[in-house]
Amino acid sequence: MSNESLANLLREERRFEPPAELAANANVTAEAYEQARADRLGFWAEQARRLSWSTEPTETLDWSNPPFAKWFQDGRLNVAYNCVDRHVEAGNGDRVAIHFEGEPGDSRTLTYAELQREVSKAANALLELGVRTGDRVAVYMPMIPETVVAMLACARIGAPHSVVFGGFSADALATRINDADARVVITADGGYRKGSASALKPAVDEALTRPGTENVRNVLVVRRTGQDVEWTEGRDVWWHDVVERQSDEHTPEAFDAEHPLFILYTSGTTGKPKGILHTSGGYLTQVAYTHHAVFDLKPETDVFWCSADVGWVTGHSYIVYGPLANGATEVLYEGTPDSPHKGRWWEIIQKYGVTIFYTAPTAIRACMKWGDDIPAEFDLSSLRLLGSVGEPINPEAWVWYREHIGAGSTPVVDTWWQTETGGIMISPLPGVTATKPGSAQVALPGIAATVLDDEAREVPDGSGGYLVLTEPWPSMLRTIWGDDQRFLDTYWSRFEGRYFAGDGAKKDDDGDIWLLGRVDDVMLVSGHNISTTEVESALVSHPSVAEAAVVGATDPQTTQAICAFVILRGSAAETEQDELVTELRNHVAKQLGPIAKPSRILPVAELPKTRSGKIMRRLLRDIAENRELGDVTTLTDSSVMELIQKQLPASG
Ligand code: ATP
Ligand code: MG
């Protein structure tokens, strides 16, 4: 971004008060903000008491060598014990931890007592395979209970896991195995996705032929699909051979609060993924607290469902560690939302009586495109709270979500955070905040966020700039694995002493925060910085548009010209396109002002997305500027780019 701060174009006047009953019984009230403001470290020290420590910490934060933080440094705990055993010891062993739903329709229920036995067996198996405290274990799995068990087993013995999303290629897996220097890989023969068995083991076999993966001694393989697998004797072992015969008792050992818990690579939306390191005590404190506060979880009665893949940070923090630390009952679903039919998610919510549902804008927009009549066929009355994460949610999608999934009455919490932040940072509190569609609004109690301009001055209300975090937080990344310098350069060099998130944001007239997309994506048009998010939201607010991606393409007259790629809804795709394009350009001009009027609008069938569902604007920018495409390895489907290129008029 340059001199001029980000323009504030979008006006959103809709407000939704918390339901009275939720507010009256909310886990967290407005008082928490006061308390944390008065004594931030005292607030976090109190939240750390949600956990069971074998040695209670006496020091909350050591910030003597910033930005290398140490939280609860002299405390000791076992993360898996906190997520499993202590609930059994408290008499809740019969409570369901996981309702697993396989894509083909098979299902399985694990209580906390069963989970304790499974995790103990897996921990014993890893020990038998020679995994020692500190050894890294790569996990390349479908969304099945063994994946959660494997992660907790690693945590139990102090072996940091590195989960690699099961949709990644052998190359992506090899780079991540190499970077983390993993000693064991846990995988499955395959998993079910989009209606068929999709193999995983061949990618592991291939990855392990690549240089830099020689230190992998064993591959532990879960049988899920029963498909044929190649076998390397001495290296490969079946989960059912090795894990099943272990003792179901294992005494957890306590580790330092700063013991590494996991390495996780970022989604790669903006470039080469970064190996983010998270540690134990601070991470677990913040994910447990935020899961309690933002989702208002009542462990005795709620059924929680986060639809993310465990391969992403959302899955780590809000499928595995946060909910289980809080003793939640949750749903784990293996497949895609449209297998075998487009109502599958709603069917699952009906089946398990899900009360809290957490998903991503990309999925919400897909459901909008498929039509309101699909969720209407199911009983979604159990839902009492909805959450969103991963991208800015367009106000229109937010309202649709509340209306068609939440019966027009459940609060929607838009949660901003990153792999690097470990847990939710900016979000409404469902019992406190009057929500605004499209805005993450306020930093959580104990979190300090603001928006700065180029000169590192806080922007006044009503203006935009760069989102920064001004105080350390418990679940912050500790470094980029093996690369302290990149950690410093990426996050701590742009603004002295403050964490630079890489996202653009604005404060509205009430001081609430709106996320405006990646700083790298911000467009400069005739001297004004314009956010991709605002132009996209204006397009999506037109009834003919299902999804939009906007980029600034270099243009000699206006510096950058706004170029929009849109997916049209149902019948709009068949109408006269030239007329519609003109209408859409005028619609944006009316919503945001003439400065934001796109110079080109191109209807397309698909948009390029990362495997976590985020739009990859840099590739669209390459297209708009007639350049060769950059790195496409984290793309879901590289044929999408060919499709778009084919659809474009020959000139650029
Ligand atoms: P990379 O850092 O490798 O480019 P990534 O940033 O997509 O990948 P993640 O850590 O999975 O990797 O995503 C975090 C980013 O997602 C945030 O920085 C932000 O851009 C976006 N994001 C997440 N939640 C929200 C939200 N509620 N509103 C707006 N943007 C969000
Ligand atoms: Mg990022």
Residue written as token pair 């109502």: 343
What distance in angstroms lies between residue 417's CA and the mean position of ligand 1's atoms?
A: 7
Task: Name 549's Cβ contacts closer than 8 Å, sequence gap at least 6.
Answer: 532, 536, 564, 565, 566, 607, 615, 617, 620
How long, in residues, is the chain?
652
**Per-residue pLDDT, 272:** 76
Q: Mind listing the pLDDT tens digit for each residue in 431-440? A: 999 999 999 9
Q: Is residue 480 helix, strand or coil?
A: strand
- Name the 3-class secondary structure at 630: coil
Between the CA of 267 and the centroid of ligand 1 the distance, in Å, is: 8
Is 417 among the annotated ligand-binding positions? yes
State the pLDDT at residue 441: 98
Q: Given this model, what pLDDT does residue 632 score?
A: 75
C-alpha to C-alpha distance for 328 and 292, rounded to whole angstroms: 10
User: Strand pairing of 196-199 and 190-193?
Assistant: antiparallel
Q: What is the pLDDT of residue 271?
A: 73
Ligand nearest to the CA of 267: 1
Residue 415 one-letter amino acid: T
Which residue numbers in the chain have pLDDT < 70? 1-4, 573, 648-652
Contacts of 389 (CB under 8 A, 6+ apart): 308, 314, 358, 359, 360, 414, 415, 416, 417, 424
Report CA(268)–ligand 1 centroid distance (Å): 10
Q: Which amino acid is at 215?
A: N
Q: Tokens in use for 215?
A: 């230190």
Judging by beta carbons within 10 Å of its beta carbon (0-12, 13-18, 19+), is residue 30 exposed, middle or buried? Answer: middle
Measuring CA to CA, how many Å separate 578 from each of 456, 562, 570, 602, 650? Answer: 44, 17, 17, 10, 16
Q: Round to whole Å and give the CA distance between 284 and 423.
A: 9
Going by C-alpha positions, the residue among 615, 169, 84 that lies closest to residue 391 is 615
| Residue found by looking up tokens 């950058």 in the block | 560
- Nearest ligand 1 atom, CA 427: 27
How far apart, in whole angstroms, are the C-alpha atoms of residue 482 and residue 181? 10
* pLDDT at residue 652, as a whole number: 37
HSE on the CB side for 309, CA within 13 Å? 25
Ligand 1 pocket test target in 416, 424, 611, 618 with most atoms within 8 Å of CB: 416
Nearest CA to ligand 1 atom 14: 418
Beta bridge partner(s), residue 506: 464, 514
Phi/psi zone of residue 441: left (φ > 0), alpha (ψ -120 to 50 degrees), beta? left
Q: Is 194 annotated as a binding residue?
A: yes
Contacts of 250 by beta carbon, 8 Å cutoff, 6+ apart: 119, 120, 121, 123, 124, 156
Which residue's CA is minimally distant from atom 23 of ligand 1? 390
Range 537-551 burial, b when 16+ CB lie within 10 A, else e: bbbbbbebbbbbbbb
- ipTM value greater than 0.90: yes
Q: What is the C-alpha separation between 489 and 140, in angstroms, rounded?
A: 30
Burial class (CB in 10 A: 0-12, 13-18, 19+), 238: middle
Contact between 357 and 386 (Cβ < 8 Å): yes
**Orientation angle between helical segments 532-540 and 577-592, nearest 10 degrees:** 120
What sign does the dihedral 121-122-123-126 (CA atoms) show? positive
Reported pTM: 0.95
Q: What is the pLDDT of residue 10?
A: 84
User: What is the CA(500)–ligand 2 centre distance, in A?
Assistant: 11
Euclidean distance between CA atoms 612 and 390, whole angstroms: 8
Rounded CA separation 446/460 (Å): 22
Relative to the CA of 440, which ligand 1 atom is closest? 27
Q: How far apart are CA 9 and CA 530, in angstroms?
A: 8
Residue with tokens 């004797």: 233
Q: What is the pLDDT of residues 100-147, one digit of tens each?
A: 999 999 999 999 999 999 999 999 999 999 999 999 999 999 999 999
Identify the burial level of 135 via C-beta atoms within 10 angstroms of its C-beta, where 0-12 means exposed, 13-18 middle and 19 or more buried: buried
418 lines ligand 1 (CB under 6 A): yes
Nearest CA owner, ligand 1 atom 5: 267
Residue (of 188, 408, 424) closest to 308 by Cα position:
424
